[in-house]
Each structure stands twice: as structure tokens, then as C-alpha cells.
Amino acid sequence: MTIMENGTGPAPRTDAGPSGLGAYAAGVWAVVGMELRQRLRARGWYIMLVVWFGLIWLVTALTWASWKFQSSAQGDFGGVAGSAANGPGPLIFEAVLAFVLLFGLLVAPALSANAISGDRAGGTLAIMQVTLLRPGQLLWGKFLASWCAALAFLVVSVPFLVFGILQGGLGAGHILVALLMLAIELGVVCALGVGVSALANRPLFSIVVTYLVVAALTFGTLIAFGLGMMVTDGTVQANQVYYKNSYVATGPDGTVDPSQPSGQPELPQDITDQNDQFACYGPLQDQRAPRTDRVAWLLGMNPFVVVADAIPYPDRTSAAQQQYAVGAFESISQGARSAQAGPEATCQCANGKVAASYLSPQAPLWPLGLGLQLLLAAGVMALAWRALRTPAGRLAKGTRIA
Amino acid sequence: MEAATEPFTGLAAVGISRRFGAVQAVANMELHAPAGEVTALIGPNGAGKTTLLLVLASLLAPDSGTVRVMGIDPMKEPAAARARIGWMPDTLGVWESLTAREILTVMGKFYRMPKGRLPARVDELLDLVNLAELAEQKARVLSRGQQQRLSLARALIHDPDVLLLDEPASGLDPGSRVSLRRILRGLAADGKAVVVSSHVLAELDEIADRAVFVNAGRTVLVQTVGQAAAQGRRYAISALDPAALAAELTRLGVSFDAGKGRRDCVSVALGTEAQGAQLLADLVRAGVAVTAFAPAAGALEESYLGLDVEQR
């Protein structure tokens, strides 16, 4: 650096490293390194990992045992095992995945939500703030470190997911997508936890608030969706439904009406659309229907919906395959997508069309849901960044004055 | 207000005010800490010392007033100012599961020090604060005084021009206090501006060149230690025969009263050190067996007690 470049300003003596993005990343890595070193030396983390391993093992073993029992019982009665016909692979995979997500949502706040409030309580936050670290570097470092700690739990559960895959019925793509989505969900929770911890004064408070946010995402979105569906009551243009093969016309005394030899009312004349089960007939009329498409985004924010919807499953719209969802995650995905499609697509005979009993993999819901989750996390992080800026204009209540 | 036309090297704060809700923690405080000197910040609990230091450390924004760290405004250029400020908080705040060496190394990284120079600097500081033998120990197992010394080393890692120390002597054993004094005098000799807040006033007589007395958020007195020593102070005198001492003092026309501390000693107010030397000579010449003749309190302590400050 020449005198000319240096100008008249004071010579930077400490800033001799790389500049720009490289220097920024170096600061982030310094925070990550320090945080991970501290976490690796905490015994509680290892205990939690062992407990976690044991729990997932238990879930896997019980799922496998229940399948064994079920299939052998069905074998005794000579029946064809329903879901068991495919082998225990999908069952174990889904059970393990659901539990890993559930436990992950429970563990991630504990790993992240005292990251900054704990430092504040211990008096080490100001020591980092007074250095050349910028608030963003502090936040990124804390976030990445807590995410790494949370991902370790995911790594521990990989053997069980692989076990599920090895039982057949699923491909390696499933495990990759599932792990990726779980990792992202853990990252969202960690970001929320770190963000909340920068806003809160006390570690306990920030941990509780983060748990409440996770609960709001997991249960609150379901409740909000249910309530939202009621208030977004709308109308849809639909005509009458004719159920084929399902009417048994009976007389007033319970006997079959002989004037209807087939036991079936006559097929109406003005059919607008039909398939082998339903037919739509008559003029279009306004019918009340919940506009689920307006509140489906609430459902989409649910971590279970995001993961379930992102995991691929075969297109079952072709007649050759069974026309109902197999497995819990596929059912969740189908439910969420039908909510997103709204009454126009799911209400029978809306616009005079027969609704498909099974939605083709149309526009998936998870990008919207995940996007909203990321938006929420980014918003909390932005507030956290504001709170960490120094020289601080405002101090949180309860901070020591002099 | 903007009277900073004359060049001033060191730390200058003018008209600093800061309010927390209804509490005016700092009101129009002023502090000049010239480079090459140790400036003591003295005041009762709750006088606003820590708040002022937080403002000076660029952690807290003042409601009004200006701060210049070696001519740099920390509000406008926080990074440039922070590269020149070393801050040792009154709370220990150590990362308990890291070793002393790791703590200093990571602080060097936070200050973007070049990697190659860092290990040598860490060793140098561990030697300076006498923690070289405990370098690989977790901070958790260090005693309070050792953690305090580590905290001092941490504030020095990037070789700052301005050093802000909040109660650095609390928790230190006598040996560590002596070495703290030596370290601070050494830093001042190197041309650093050192600001020390402390309650141990006798200690500050030895360390500080000047003192800023604050009370209820205001600067109430600024004086050098030389001025403090020249303003007159009380001496405590004891003799083998207290009665003879009392009689001789009465004969010399020196007013005295019974000392507050140890028994069998009297307290005398004298204007200058020369008067003290003269009185001692007179007493000895008169045959009084004087066993102790010393200032009853430190120079800064005299100033402090003379201010009649209130605690809040």
C-alpha cells in the first residue's frame, strides 16, 4: 500500500488481511470456529446426541417390529398385506423422518436460542461488539455454528434412514431430498433462534419465545388454516353431482323399488362431465365452499408440510395405478395441495367438471411455504442485526445503567 | 461546542450526555485523556463512570456531545476508532471453555490481525500479564484475579492507542496490583492514552497522572496528581509517648485532632509537603520519639473526600 493510496487518513495497522468479502468471511469463520470449539467442549451436547441416537433407534425398531407383527398376522389369516405388501421400507423411512423432524424442531431452539442472549448475560457480547466484528458477521457466525450443531443430529439419524431405504420401496433420491429439506428446516429454526436471542435480554426468555415460534409454525399454522378456512367462506359455480354405482333406490318401506330395476336412478340427460364414478349435470349454480386456496399459504408454512410436499412420490393419476395416496407424507402433501388448489379444483362438479380424486403433481406448495419461512427468519435476523448495531442508540430494558 | 480546533492527541470527550428513560446517567461530561498519560476516572457508585466508558468505547451512542479517539469520530467511523480502542469491561466476561491462549488468539482474529503475527503477540501478552504458565488452561479454572489479567491482555491484543479500563484492579492480589501499575505506566510511557476507573484511590496516586472526578453524571473536578498533592492534606503522626507529642504540637501552635484510624495517633492538616517536612524536623528536634509520620490519605482521596460527593 503506497502513501498515495493511504491518503491523509490514519494508517490501518490491524486491517492487513484480505479486504471485502474475504475479510467479511474471515470474521464469520472466526466466530464459527470459536462457537464450535465451545460447543464441542460442552458435555450436554454429547449427551443429547446419545439420547437422540437411542430414541431414533427405538422408533426404527418399534416400527420394524410392528410391521413384522402385522404382516405375520395377516399371513395367518391368508389375507394380502396392504401397505405391508411393499415391504417395511417406506413405513420405517416415514416414521424415522417424521421423528427426526419432530425432535429436530425440539432440539434446534435449545442449540440456537441462547447464542446471543447467553453471551449478553455472560458479559461476552460487548467484548465481541467492541472489536472490528460487524453485527452481520456476529449473526452469521452464531447462526452457522448453531446450524452445524443441529446438523450433527441429522447425521446421527442417517443410518436409520438408510436402513429404511434398504428395506426397499424407495430410492436414494428420497433420502437426499429428505435430508436436504430437514437440513433447511433446522436452519430456519436455528436462524429464528439466533435472531430471537439477539432481541431478548435473558437466555430463558429467548429459548421460550423460540419454542413458541416453532409451536406456532407446527400447530399454529394448522389452527390458523382451520380458522381461516371458515372466514374465507366463498362461493363456487357448480352443478349437481350424480353418484354412479352408489344409489340403491329404496321405497318408503325399505324395499327395493321395482320401478327402478337397476336400483339406480336414471342417468340425467344434461350431463356436463363424467367419469366412471361421478357425473355432473344440470345448470351451474352458486354453491358455498371454503376458499382454502386463500389460506393454503398458512398450511404451507408448516415444517411437516414443507418436508412432506418436497419429497417426491409417483404420479398416480394414470388409471394403471391405485388412485389414492400411500403413506402419511404423501397424504399430507395431497391434502396440502388440494387446499392450495381450492374449491374450483376440489369441489365436486365445480364449473361442471368432475374433480379428480387424486391431484396430479401440479404446482407444489412447499416453495411458497419455505419461502414464507425464510422470509420470517430473514425478518427476525434483520431485527436482530438492528439490535446488535453499535454505538447503540437504544438499550433494552433492564440493562445496567452506570 | 465545536472547539476541537487545536490538535489533541489522545481521547477527548466533550459535552457527553446520555439518558436511559427517566434516568440521566451522564450529563454534559467532559474528559480529556492525553496520549502518554494515565487518566483516572473517579466517582461514587452510579456516578456514570461505566456509562461514560461505554460511550468512549463506541458501544453506546451519546444523546449529545462529541468523542474523538486520536482524532477519529467513533460515531462516523466506528471501525477506524475501534482499531485504536482497547476496552476492559468491569464484568469479567470470559469464554469459560476456551483456554487463555485461544481467547487471545480469537480476539486477534476479531481485530483482523495478520495471522502470522498473532502467535507471537499472544505469547508476548501472556508473558506481560504473567499467565504464560496457565496459557493452556481453560478460562473456567482461572481465579478471579487471573481472569482479570486475561481480560487486560485481551484489551491489549491489537496494540490500541487508547486504553479504557473499568475497575482493572478489583480482585487483584497485591503482587498483581504492582504489576498492573507497572504495565499501565509502561503503556503510558509508550505514548498510549490510558483511562482507568477505580475505587482504590490510594492505588491511583501511584498510577495516574491526572484525575477526572465525576458525580451524579457530571464532571465535577479535573486536576493533576501534582495539583492534588499541592492542595494540602492530612498527616497521621504517632509517637512512643502520645502525651509528649500532644504537648509539643500544642507548643508549636499546630492544631490537631485524634486520628480516626489507629489508636495513639493524631491527625494534622498541612498545606504543603514542605510544611510536613518542617513539622517532622521540629518534632524530632524537640525530642519527641516519632514512630510514624505519613499522609493519612492519598492525594486523590483527599480531593475525593473534599468533594463531598453523594452516592446514589
Query: B51 and A395: CB-CB below 8 Å?
Result: no
Integer Cα distance of B40 and B165 in angstroms: 10
What share of chain A has pLDDT > 70, as a percent?
A: 78
> What percentage of chain A carries pLDDT values higher than 90?
40
For residue A15, is pLDDT > 50? no
Interface test with A, best of B45, B67, B105, B109 (most A CBs within 10 A): B109
- The alpha-carbon gap from B106 to the nearest alpha carbon of chain A, in Å, equals 7
Which of B60, B74, B97 has its CB closest to that of A42? B97
| pLDDT value of residue A245 | 64
C-alpha grid cell, residue A110: 435449545
| Biggest distance spanned by C-alpha atoms of chain B | 72
Interface test with A, best of B75, B95, B106, B112 (most A CBs within 10 A): B112
> What is the C-alpha separation between B178 and B145, in angstroms, rounded?
13
Taking CA–CA distances from A396, the nearest residue in chain B reads B20
B58–chain A nearest CA distance, Å: 5
Summary mean pLDDT of chain A: 81
The minimum CA-CA distance between A184 and chain B, rounded to whole Å, is 29
| Residue from the list B54, B72, B109 with its beta carbon closest to the beta carbon of A30 | B109
Please determine, for residue A261, whether its predicted confidence score (pLDDT) is greater than 60. Answer: no
The confidence band for A10, taking pLDDT boundaries of 50, 70 and 90, is very low
Distances (CA, A) of B33 to A274, B73, B222: 90, 15, 11
The DSSP-derived string for B43-59 is: --TTSSHHHHHHHHTTS
Contacts of A123 in chain B (CB under 8 A): 89, 91-93
Write down the pLDDT at residue A357: 62
The one-letter code for the residue type at B165 is L
Give Cα separations from B49 to A387, B144, B249 (angstroms).
Answer: 24, 22, 42
Q: How far is CA B135 from each of CA B123, B130, B138, B141, B152, rounded to the nearest angstrom?
A: 9, 10, 8, 11, 14
**Bond into A391 cis (ω within 30):** yes
Question: What is the nearest CA distance from B49 to chain A, expressed in angstroms?
Answer: 6
What counts of helices (H) and strands (E) characterise chain B? 11, 13
Asked if A131 and B111 come within 8 Å (Cβ–Cβ), the reply is: yes
Residue B262 has pLDDT above 70, yes or no: no
For B13, the grid coordinates are 470527550
> Has residue A119 got a pLDDT over 80?
yes
Q: What is the pLDDT of residues B105-151, one digit of tens each?
A: 999 999 999 989 999 999 999 999 999 999 999 999 999 889 999 99
Amino acid A239: pLDDT: 78
HSE-up of residue B236 (Cα within 13 Å, Cβ side): 14
* Per-residue model confidence as pLDDT tens digits over B29-86: 999 999 999 999 998 888 888 899 999 999 999 999 999 999 999 988 989 999 999 9
- Whether pLDDT at A165 is above 90: no
Element (H, E) at B25: strand B23-34
Q: Label residue A325 by pLDDT band (50, 70, 90).
A: low
| Confidence class for position B101, pLDDT limits 50, 70, 90 | very high
Show residues of chain B in contact with A133, CB under 8 Å. Answer: 110
Give the mutation candidate from A127, A388, A389, A397 for the B interface (greatest B CB count, under 10 A): A127
CB contact under 8 A, A9 and B58: no
Architecture of the B10-228 domain: 3-Layer(aba) Sandwich (3.40)
Q: How far is CA B285 from CA B221, B282, B289, in A?
A: 40, 5, 10
What is the model's pLDDT at position A3?
36
Is B71 close to A131, i.e. CB distance below 8 A? no
Residue A396 has pLDDT above 90, yes or no: no
More confident residue, A320 or B270: B270
Q: What's the pLDDT at B243?
A: 85
Question: Least CB-CB distance to A127: which of B70, B93, B159?
Answer: B93
Least confident of A99-108, A331-340, B183-192: A331-340
> Nearest to residue B153, comparing CAs of B168, B137, B140?
B168
More confident residue, A240 or A183: A183
The full set of domain ranges for chain A reads 23-70+84-212+370-388, 228-346
Residues B266-299: pLDDT tens digits?
888 888 888 888 999 999 998 888 888 888 777 7
Distance from CA of B139 to the nearest CA of A (A): 12
β partners of residue B193: B162
- The answer on pLDDT for B6 being more than 50 is yes
- CATH code: domain B231-307 is 3.30.70
A133 is written with which cell numbers? 466484528
pLDDT at residue number A317: 57
Give the mutation candidate from B53, B59, B144 for the A interface (greatest A CB count, under 10 A).
B59
- Name the band, by pLDDT with cuts 50, 70 and 90, for residue A268: confident
- DSSP string of A186-222? HHHHHHHHHHHHHH-SSHHHHHHHHHHHHHIIIIIHH
Q: What angle do CA B4, B5, B10 make, to 5 degrees?
A: 55
Residue limits of CATH 3.30.70 in chain B? 231-307
CB-based burial of residue B280 (10 Å sphere; 0-12 exposed, 13-18 middle, 19+ buried)?
Answer: middle
Residue A246 class from Cβ within 10 Å (0-12 exposed, 13-18 middle, 19+ buried)?
exposed
**Going by C-beta distance under 8 Å and a sequence separation of 6 or more, which residues neighbour residue A258?**
none
Q: Which residue of B has its CA nearest to A392?
A: B60
| Three cell numbers written together for B168 | 482493572
Q: Name the minimum distance, in Å, from the CA of A134 to any CA of chain B.
A: 9
Question: Rounded distance, CA B297 to CA B300, Å?
Answer: 8
Residue A393's pLDDT band (cuts 50, 70, 90): confident
Pick the range with the lowest mean pLDDT from A241-250, A253-262, A280-289, B150-159: A253-262
Whole-number pLDDT of residue B268: 86
Dihedral sign from CA coordinates of A297, A303, A305, A306: positive
- Structural contact between residues A186 and A150, judged by C-beta atoms closer than 8 angstroms: yes
> Which of the four pLDDT bands, split at 50, 70 and 90, describes residue B264?
confident
What type of residue is A99?
F
Domain span(s) for CATH 3.40.50.300 in chain B: 10-228
Pairwise CB contact (< 8 Å): A393 & B61: yes
pLDDT of A369 strictly over 50: yes
Query: How far apart are the C-alpha atoms of A198 and B298, rounded to whole Å?
Result: 45
Question: In this structure, what C-alpha cell is assigned to residue B72?
Answer: 477519529
ipTM metric? 0.84
